[in-house]
Amino acid sequence: MAINTNEIAATTTQHIIKELPDGLMKANALWEKIADSQAKYISGGTNIQFANKLIKNPAAGFITGGASAVNVNPGQQNVYGTLNWKYFYHNVSITLEDLTQTQDSEEAIIDMIEAKKNGGLMDAIRDMTVSLHGTATTDPLGFNGLLDIVAASGTAYAGLLDTDYLNNAYLPIIDSTASVVSYTSIAPNINKIKARVQQFGEAGAYPIDMGFCNAAVKGAFEASEQAKQRFYESTMLSSGFEGFKVNGINIYLDDNTPGSQDGTTGDNYLYIFPSKAFQMAYKYGLKGKVSPLDGETRIPNQPVMSNQGYFAGNLVCLLRRSILVYKTLVA
Q: pLDDT band at 149, cuts 50/70/90?
A: very high
pTM: 0.82
Residue 179 lies in a domain: yes
Beta bridge partners of 251: 211, 244
Question: Quick one: pLDDT at residue 14?
Answer: 42
Residue 13 lies in a domain: no
What is the H or E stretch that residue 324 is in?
Answer: strand 324-330
pLDDT digits (tens, 9 = 90+) for 193-211: 988 886 544 545 788 989 9
If DSSP states are collapsed to H, E and C, what string results for 253-297? ECCCCCCCCCCCCEEEEEEEECHHHEEEEEEECCCCCCCCCCEEE
Question: What CATH number is attached to the domain comprising 121?
Answer: 3.90.1690
Residue 89 lies in a domain: yes
Task: Check pLDDT > 50 for residue 169.
Answer: yes
Top mean-pLDDT range of 108-117, 151-160, 208-217? 151-160
Residue 20 lies in a domain: no
Beta bridge partners of 212: 252, 271
Give me the number of domains the chain comprises.
1
Residue 202 lies in a domain: yes
Question: Quick one: pLDDT at residue 104?
Answer: 67
Residue 317 lies in a domain: yes
| Other Cβ atoms within 10 Å of 316 Cβ, number | 23
- Core vs surface per residue 190-217: b (16+ CB within 10 A) or e: beebbebbeeeeeeeebebebbbbbbbb
- Count of alpha carbons within 13 angstroms of residue 178, beta-carbon side: 21
Q: pLDDT band at 134, cuts 50/70/90?
A: very high
Q: Quick one: average pLDDT of 227-246?
A: 50
Distance, in Å, from the CA atom of 230 to the CA atom of 130, rounded to the nearest integer, reads: 36
Q: pLDDT band at 5, cuts 50/70/90?
A: low
| 8 A C-beta contact, residue 65 and residue 280 | no
Distance, in Å, from the CA atom of 206 to the CA atom of 204, rounded to the nearest integer, reads: 5
Question: Quick one: pLDDT at residue 80?
Answer: 93
Q: Regarding predicted confidence, which is higher, 236 or 38? A: 38
Give the closest residue to 256 by CA, choosing from 23, 86, 20, 32: 32
If DSSP states are collapsed to H, E and C, what string results for 232-254? CCCCCEEECCCEEEECCEEEEEC
Question: Quick one: pLDDT at residue 13?
Answer: 42
CA distances (Å), 175 to each of 70, 120, 188, 254, 263, in order? 41, 38, 11, 19, 19
Give the closest residue to 258 by CA, choosing from 150, 139, 137: 150
Give the closest residue to 281 by CA, choosing from 1, 79, 63, 39: 39
pLDDT digits (tens, 9 = 90+) for 274-316: 999 999 999 999 888 889 998 888 888 888 888 888 899 999 9
Task: Please say whether the dihedral angle defined by the alpha carbons of residues 43, 49, 50 and 56, taken in this order, is positive or negative.
Answer: negative
Q: Residue 304's domain spans which residues?
A: 29-53+79-330
What is the H or E stretch that residue 191 is in?
Answer: helix 183-197
Question: Quick one: pLDDT at residue 199?
Answer: 54
CA distances (Å), 117 to each of 90, 92, 219, 295, in order? 10, 6, 35, 12
Residue 217 lies in a domain: yes
| 8 A C-beta contact, residue 196 and residue 215 | no
pLDDT digits (tens, 9 = 90+) for 93-107: 888 887 777 766 555
Q: pLDDT band at 240, cuts 50/70/90?
A: very low
Residue 262 lies in a domain: yes
Distance, in Å, from the CA atom of 238 to the CA atom of 11, rounded to the nearest integer, reads: 57
